[in-house]
Amino acid sequence: MLNQPANVAYRQDLVSIESSVDEGQNWIQHILVELDKSDRLSCIDVPSPRPAKLWRVVARGYNASAEERAWTPIGVDFFVTLESSLQQSRMRFETEAEARTLPGSRVPVPPSAEKLVPATLRADHVIGSSTPERLGLLVDGSLETFWVSGESGQSVRDHAWIGYQFAAPASVGEIVLLQTNVHEYRQDKVAVETRNSPDEDWCRIADFDLVAGAVESKMRIFSPHQATTWRIVACGENATAPSHRWTPLGIGLKLREESPALKTRLARAVGAMRRGMSHSF
């Protein structure tokens, strides 16, 4: 429940609800909601969130357009459902199987118990905002090669991106991003977005503040979201001069076992094995 002033200059008409399970290192966006401009009191329903310790309401609107304007919320209240409370208390169990020995209904799978399988990434399925001839270098397994964004300077932020197009909807549980440790040619803040067709708008599902200078960054996606197209968007302020660009070294994706894309891949592998066996007799 968000309480705000009626004055448009000191309120927000677009907010997101986010949570963190790792003490604020990474934030997961659960919902982006446009609020009624005439309401001072807004009730925001968060659809089926995973239990978390930290929750926040983030200003996403353009109400504060002048220097003297600021967001001045009057108050905020968080309401927890009984089911959510029970689920959170059961998160102490390390595996879903152990949790299911207790009486009760559905029990969420703790992140540590999720089974993630590395996806085999094909060069011709890698996508990006620019420089298509270098996109395949992101999955060649080498730290000596890299993609170079066509965007430079301040145009890198919110415009340069890299991603992957699956043949079927995929539930990505972890993204690995490899980057140089040179500040001007990396990104210390990125967003993960998805969509299922070129006609759809991109849906932002998570924002990540990466460790500055880290070559390898692992980003966990705790929401069991499925989509055919996934992308990583540059959101940092690393590139400031015209010569600065984003030059990631590589990407890796890990899928949840229930992912349709993984099931399709396994089915093809089994089919190929059976065909090979039939030819051997």
| pLDDT above 90 coverage of the chain, percent | 55
- Label residue 260 left, alpha or beta by phi (over 0 means left) and psi (-120 to 50 means alpha): alpha
Distance CA 99, CA 51 (A): 15
Task: Give the confidence band of 81 by pLDDT, cuts at 50, 70, 90.
Answer: low
Of 16-20, 53-57, 127-131, 256-260, the one with minimum mean pLDDT is 256-260
Predicted confidence at residue 261, as pLDDT, reads 58
Buried b vs exposed e over 101-121: b needs ≥16 C-beta within 10 Å?
eeeeeebbbbbeebebeebeb
pLDDT in tens, 55-71: 999 999 889 888 889 99
The token pair at 162 is 């890299």
The residue ranges of every structural domain in the chain are 2-113, 116-266
Superfamily name and number for 116-266: Galactose-binding domain-like (2.60.120.260)
Distance CA 155, CA 149 (A): 10
Distance CA 99, CA 121 (A): 34
The token pair at 188 is 């210390």
Distance CA 19, CA 88 (A): 14
Of 28-32, 151-155, 172-176, the one with minimum mean pLDDT is 28-32
Beta bridge partners of 194: 203, 230
Of 44-58, 100-114, 226-240, the one with minimum mean pLDDT is 100-114
Report residue 253 CA to chain centroid gap: 12
H/E element, 268 = helix 260-279
Buried b vs exposed e over 261-277: b needs ≥16 C-beta within 10 Å?
bbeebeeeeeeeeeeee
